[in-house]
Homo-oligomer: A and B are copies of this chain.
Amino acid sequence: SLMESQNEGQGKFMEFPFVTASHKKLMVDLVSTLENRFEKQLLPCKLPPDVQYYQNESGTAQASLQIRSGQSDSLVDFVLGSWIHCELPTGASLDITSLSAYLNLSTDAPNFLIEVIRSSPTMLVLILDLPPRKDLALWPDDLKTFYEDTQIDTQRQALEKIPEIQPYFSSSLYIRTVSSPTAIMVRIETEAGGGERVEEIIAKHLDPISKQVLGIWLDHCACAKRDVGEIERALLKKRDGIVRKKTLEVDLDSSFPRLFGTQVANRVLEAIKEYFDV
């Protein structure tokens, strides 16, 4: 039945079947923390089964997607979780796991985003941020409220001290533009050989730091009572719309058809776009 297929999809998402133990623990804990905090504010995932789990023709690329909308009285627009696994022609594989939470137009507080990209056992990229939804240069009080008073930059500073961790610059200037001044964008590269040190860095550093950042978002952004006037709301709607459209383009438009074939890619992109329309 459809219900069973949907439950399978849900199970599949939380399995994170291709990533390492510490990487899976990090993701499962973050998703659970977020879902537990919002409890009944989040509706079940209504994506069709072939969007909740999909693969390319040859089965070398597999992926899972879960989107849960917020109830009408919630500040959450929707929460999106996903993983992608691709076997590369080199014999290595690429694993991307992500969790993002988008707030709706009742609040102008920042969103939440984590993306973990593992392109080899010795290489990992982490993007962890509370992307702002306003021009912070124009609104220094919001910068203070969400980024200075929460001391969120101490999390980035802690990572900076680890010798294998280097700042990461996205090749997309738009992705850099929409990130906050405290965005954690780092590349972890260890000596060739086993990935034990990467595992250790995930468990000892990335895991607690990503939970701290999610905690700051849950405590100070996702529940913040904000006064959004009519004019501000219209601008917020316009900005949210442009940012969602552009980031989707940058993230998916070029790589998705290549990885999954045009037909599957279109099916999934169409489903996502319904949620991304503000």
Residues of A within 8 A of B (CB): 135-138, 140, 143, 147-148, 153, 156, 160, 167, 169, 173-174, 176-178, 181-182, 238-239, 242-243, 246
Contacts and interface: CB of A to CB of B under 8 A. Distances in A.
A174 B181 CA distance: 8
A130 to B, nearest CB: 12
Contact of A138 (B143, B148, B160, B242): B242
B173 A137 contact: no
Nearest to A138: B239
Nearest to A176: B181
B138 A238 contact: yes
A244 B181 CA distance: 18
18 contacts: A135-B138, A137-B174, A137-B178, A137-B239, A137-B242, A137-B243, A138-B242, A140-B174, A140-B242, A140-B246, A143-B174, A143-B177, A147-B173, A160-B169, A167-B167, A173-B182, A174-B181, A176-B182
Contacts of A176: 181-182
A138 B153 CA distance: 25
A160 B169 CA distance: 10
A242 B142 CA distance: 13
A236 to B, nearest CB: 11
Given A138-B242, A143-B177, 5 more contacts: A135-B138, A137-B239, A138-B238, A140-B242, A176-B182
Contacts of A246: 140
